[in-house]
Every structure is written in C-alpha cells, then in structure tokens.
C-alpha cells in the first residue's frame, strides 16, 4: 500500500518541499514505466512510515518534471538523492537495499 506520507514534488514545489525543508529529504527520481522504480516503491513507503517526523520521502516523476531531471543530471532511474538544509548530501542510482537507504537517512539526520 502506498504511503500517504510520500510527497509528490514538481518543479514548482521543489524549493519549498526539498531545498527549504526543515528535515532531511530523500528524493526518488522515477518513472511509471521503470521496473526497478516499481521495485523500490514499497521500500520507500516503508521508509516514509519509519522515518515519519525525522525525514521526508519525496518522489519526482522524470517524465512529468524533465527540467528537474536535467538540473540534477539524472541519467538513470531510479536515482535517490538526499538533501539537508538545501545541500545535496548523497546521490545513488539503481535499486538500493532498504538497509542502505536507512543508513543514508540516518547519516543525514544525525550529522
């Protein structure tokens, strides 16, 4: 079941929801047709619930938001980026194991 805690981000809302967020933000660049993206989706739903109030999980559909994909040099999807305080802390592509995503978020929260 998709988590209602995951933010759907657009070019218009990116600055407010990601760069100016009070909490660290994990951003998933994805597309509907991407099989690995669909594999990652339930993991992100779990993280949204587990990290509720400590971090934000956001998704950006690269087909609907090509300007953001270009701006952040998204060459493959899924690509996961972690932002904190407007800064990009980490960028990884492909299906990332849940434990690794938890570690990435943990570092962003605790540093």
Q: Report the 10 Å Cβ neighbour count for 79.
A: 22
Tell me the backbone φ, ψ of residue 35, rounded to 5 degrees.
Answer: -60, -50
Q: Which residues contact 64 (CB under 8 A, 6 or more apart)?
A: 10
What residues are labeled active site?
34, 37
């Amino acid at each position: 079941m998709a988590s209602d805690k995951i933010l759907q981000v657009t070019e218009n809302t990116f600055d407010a929801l990601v760069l100016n967020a009070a909490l660290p933000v994990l951003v998933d660049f994805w597309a509907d047709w991407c099989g690995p993206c669909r594999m990652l989706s339930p993991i992100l739903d779990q993280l949204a619930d587990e990290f509720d109030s400590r971090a934000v999980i956001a998704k950006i559909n690269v087909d609907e938001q090509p300007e953001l994909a270009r701006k952040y040099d998204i060459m493959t999807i899924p690509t996961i980026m972690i932002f904190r305080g407007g800064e990009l802390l980490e960028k990884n592509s492909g299906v990332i194991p849940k434990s690794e995503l938890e570690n990435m978020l943990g570092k962003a929260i605790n540093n």
